[in-house]
Structure 1
Amino acid sequence: MYAANQTSVSASIPRAMQNTAAPAISLTGAQQNELLRALSREELLDLFVHLDLVPLEAGKRLFEGGGAMEYAYFPTNAIVSLQYVTEDGGAAEVAVVGREGVVGVTMYENERANCCAVVQTAGYGYRIKSAVLRQAFFSGGALAQQLMRHTSALFAQLAQTVAGVRHGSIEQRLCRWLLERLDRSLSNELKVTQEMIANMLGVRRESITCCAGKLQEEGLIEYRRGTVTVIDRHAMERRAGGCYSPV
């Protein structure tokens, strides 16, 4: 079962997606998403019949800005980046969602997305039709409360991102960006590239290379091509300063 060995599953993705069968769908597996785990067993059972376990491959776009949101996704070990895309194709990350939450919630019929959602770290998630989730929300109960809390947390994360762009140094923003993914990861190893980080932060790659090199020299991280391992989380939090708080 998926819940029996979630660390090994996440560690082998995306290879596991290519060479082995997907983990089995189960109540225990669904509860690896913290929002779903917060529901009572009865509420989760009501929702469970509408959930499909799906692979979320790195780079997959779950929906586009201005597009329809047919499904909502509850990640388990995947990490999804919410990005605002400009008319000239530039993108900036506004928030990130992992196993603590959900992406694609709609409160109105035919509602359009105000940003795009891109899978940044491959893994799995539970998919549900947005219309079904919307109906469950308006039925009230713990699900509605959890969705409202999650929406509030997303707004707080967005506000923190904006404040960091205005007042934080590139090093502080880099530390915050890495910590946000560490919060949603099952290990201290992150599959990211300097180019990806630079694009999401809207800065030059050379700036990220310089800051990452400094953090590595001081023993906070270890960087190999395509992989960042966080060595000293507490020092990273101190270095991020006001740019980071675990919303």
Structure 2
Amino acid sequence: GQDRSSNETYIQVASKGWSLPAENLRSAIAKSLSLRESLLRYAHAFLIQSSRTALINGHSKIEERLARWLLMVHDRGEGNKIYLTHEFLATMLGARRPGVTTALQMLEYRGLVHARRGEITIVDRAGMIKLTHGAYGEEEQRYFGLASA
């Protein structure tokens, strides 16, 4: 195994995170079958969701991708407010910032969100899910089922 990940990880919204040396994690996995099984379930769920995201990013409009991404952030957070900038959303969606601004305005016009500088409030979650045209739902439920089992 390698000592370092080739990826950089950061917390996208206000939250807590932990890090530990790779050797400590390997040792804990070797000692705990339940930890190993939980991490394998999480890795499987993450792979499914990542594959689905790649597919959706290639075939969906920016409004649908934005709605899906905001729903996934909402799933993992507390409350209806999400504190993110348009620039950050553009990075996450692989889009230009003006495109994200236009997409957010469209979501707001439809009454799905309320957007202010650096803050987005989910107003109509069911409407957001409908807007994704099936791009959100089944895989996310599978993700939570596998990751939390």
TM-score (norm 2): 0.85
1:122 aligned partner, one-letter code: A
Paired residue for 1:187? 79
Structure 2 letter corresponding to 1:168: S
Q: Give 2:31's match in structure 1, choosing from 112, 133, 139.
A: 139
- Partner Cα distance (1:244, 1:193) in 2: 22
Which amino acid in the other structure matches residue 65 of structure 2?
R
For the 8 Å contact 1:192–1:226, the answer to whether it is kept is yes
Which of these residues, 75, 97, 100, is aligned with residue 208 of structure 1?
Answer: 100
Residue pair 2:108, 2:115 contacting (<8 A) in 1 also: yes
Q: Quote the RMSD (CA, aligned, Å).
A: 1.5
Among residues 133, 136, 142, which one is paired with 1:244 in the alignment?
Answer: 136
Partners of 1:212 and 1:240 lie apart in 2 by 14
2:79 is aligned with 1:224: no
Provide the residue aligned with 1:158 in structure 2.
50
| CA contact 1:171–1:211 (8 Å) conserved in 2 | yes
In 2: Cα distance, 1:225 partner to 1:172 partner: 21
Structure having the higher strand fraction is: 1
- Cα drift, residue 243 of structure 1: 2.3
Determine what percentage of the aligned residue pairs are the same residue.
Answer: 33
State the number of aligned residues: 139
Under a length normalisation based on structure 1, what TM-score does the superposition of the two structures give?
A: 0.53
For residues 186-206 of structure 1, give each alpha carbon's deviation from its aligned partner in whole angstroms, at most 9, with x where no partner exists: 111000111111122111212
5+ residue gaps, structure 2, are 144-149
SS at match of 1:213: helix
CA distance in 1: counterparts of 2:7 and 2:135, whole angstroms? 22
Contact 1:193 1:226 in 2 (8 A): yes
Deviation for aligned residue 1:149: 0.4
Residues 221 and 139 of structure 1: CA distance in aligned 2, closer, same or farther (over 3 Å):
same
- 1:63-102 → structure 2 map (5 Å cutoff): none
- Runs of 4+, deviation exceeding 4 Å: none
Contact 1:163–1:243 (8 Å) recurs in 2? no
What are structure 1's unaligned runs of at least 5 residues? 1-107
User: What does residue 8 of structure 2 align with?
Assistant: 116
CA distance in 1, matches of 2:50, 2:134: 14
